Amino acid sequence: MVTVGIDLAAKEHNPTGFAIWNDGFIRTFTVYSDLEIISSCLRAYPSLIAIDAPLTFNQGYREADKALIRMGIRVFPPNFVSELTFRAMRLKARLRNVIEVFPKAFYKILNVTEADLEKFVVFLNKPQSKHETDAAVCALIAAMTLEGKTEAIGRKGEKIIIPRKGEKPPPIKDEIF
């Protein structure tokens, strides 16, 4: 099983974190352009792609955003990050099997830190930036989704996928890609 995680930047000249999760092994790197993102996704042939960016636009907070705020997780409304939102929406239209995730929710709900990530995955290369680390978390949330260990919050069409409390990420397999 392969998933992709993307910590999307609003502008193509800024670094976007990219991660490929393959049965517990994660490789991270940085991409910039939409073309790089799309071609990297196509080469990975993932079952699911998780993007840390709003995939729907709204003037103000969406129901999913309000649910995260009630959990004590600070978010920005899509209209506050409109350039990021519209870029994410364009990418979603060109890719398949895309979900919206929020790495801060992963840390809060599972009560873990970045340092704890190596309990759940084997990094084939050490993430070189916060963007790459967040992309790894996105890919991990996608893997948890495929195993039924997440839930969707928000209204139909504007859902954010978060880990279910008490769930653990999938175990690491013995194979490497």
Q: What 8-state DSSP symbol labels residue 101?
A: B
Residue 74 in this model has a pLDDT that exceeds 50: yes
On whether the CB atoms of residues 100 and 141 are closer than 8 A, the answer is no
Q: pLDDT category, 174, cuts 50, 70, 90?
A: low
Torsion sign (Cα): 99, 87, 26, 174: positive
Query: How far separated are the first and last CA of the chain, in Å rounded?
Result: 11
Residue % of the chain over a pLDDT of 90: 85
Residue 173 in this model has a pLDDT that exceeds 60: yes
Give mean pLDDT, residues 112-123.
92
Strands 122-123 and 16-22: unpaired
Residue 96 in this model has a pLDDT that exceeds 70: yes
pLDDT at 168: 84
pLDDT at 175: 55
Q: State the DSSP H helix or E strand holding residue 42, giving kind and residue range, or none if neither.
A: helix 34-44
Q: Name the more confident of 44 and 176.
A: 44
Neighbour tally for 72: CB within 10 Å: 7
On whether the CB atoms of residues 24 and 173 are closer than 8 A, the answer is yes
Give mean pLDDT, residues 3-15.
98
Residue 143 in this model has a pLDDT that exceeds 50: yes
pLDDT at 177: 45
Q: Where are the beta strands (DSSP E) in the chain?
A: 2-7, 16-22, 25-31, 48-51, 98-100, 122-123, 150-153, 160-163
pLDDT at 91: 97
